[in-house]
A = this chain, B = another copy of it.
Amino acid sequence: LKKDTISPMAVRRLPKYYRHLVKLQRKGVKHISSAELGVHTGVAASQIRQDLSCCGEFGCPGRGYNVKVLQSELAKILGMTNGYTAIVVGAGRIGKALLAHFPFKKYGITITAVYDVDQRVVGKTLFGIPVYHVDALAKRLEEQPVNLCILTVPAEAVYELTEVLSIGKVQGIWNYTNAELPVCDGGPIVENVHLFDSLFSLCCMVTDKAGKNIGNEE
């Protein structure tokens, strides 16, 4: 039963399955059951089956999933085979760290340009990618549309940039700023990294747990 939309919660688990399948294939494992995959990923077997079944029928009753097949099916669902193009807006430390370390190419994503306001980098290249001034972004998006934008600018700049990216028909924004982007319906899909929220969710859980332990074992 292939559904027309993957549930939001499933979408967040599929990359985790993919990561594990890559590992399994490297080890030479040919088949894996939902039960076994569940042990490694910390997800219930029935949840995995449900997540996978809404994208199509990849499994084989009695034998489980073919690792190679499932991996390549997930690669398609995750958009790795679409040849997506992306730009990096903001060539600060985070932008540079991503350009240097994140294996975009390996997963089918081509970084076509970097944008910044700093005249010391504009006109040069970073890791082989040409750097343009942010002022040129709107016009360049018109001429050469891209699928994704990796946004690593200071929070003050997001209001204007979100508009430029929306008008420029960017389909997805990977947002590293700690601001909420003012996108409207039909605009780009935003995936927030929100490191601040992530760290303080952790601190909150640590504090919560430590508070409960008073009077208990510790």
Cα separation A193 to B193 with both chains bound (whole Å): 8
Chain B residues closer than 8 Å to A109, beta-carbon distance: 203
Known: A80-B203, A100-B93, A208-B6. A12 touches B197 (CB 8 A): yes
Q: Is A69 in contact with chain B by the CB < 8 A criterion? A: no
Tell me how many residues of A have a C-beta within 8 Å of chain B. Answer: 57
Q: Is A107 in contact with chain B by the CB < 8 A criterion? A: yes
Among B84, B94, B196, B197, which residue has its beta carbon within 8 angstroms of that of A203?
B84
Cα separation A202 to B102 with both chains bound (whole Å): 15
In the complex, the answer to whether A199 meets B174 with C-beta atoms within 8 Å is yes
Among B92, B191, B197, B207, which residue has its beta carbon within 8 angstroms of that of A82?
B207
In the complex, the answer to whether B4 meets A206 with C-beta atoms within 8 Å is no
In the complex, the answer to whether A202 meets B172 with C-beta atoms within 8 Å is yes
In the complex, the answer to whether A11 meets B101 with C-beta atoms within 8 Å is no
Q: Which of A5, A200, A205 has the most CB of B within 10 A?
A: A200
In the complex, the answer to whether A193 meets B191 with C-beta atoms within 8 Å is no
In the complex, the answer to whether A201 meets B94 with C-beta atoms within 8 Å is no
Cα separation A193 to B98 with both chains bound (whole Å): 14
Q: B-facing mask of A1-39, CB < 8 A → 1, else 0?
A: 000111000011011101100000000000000000000
Q: Is A68 in contact with chain B by the CB < 8 A criterion? A: no
Q: How far is the CB of A215 from chain B (nearest CB, A)?
A: 12
Residue of B nearest to A81 (CB): B207
Q: How far is the CB of A63 from chain B (nearest CB, A)?
A: 25
Interface contacts beyond A15-B194, A41-B180, A191-B205: sample of 7 additional A-B pairs, CB < 8 Å, sorted by A = A14-B200, A78-B200, A80-B200, A109-B203, A147-B206, A172-B202, A172-B203
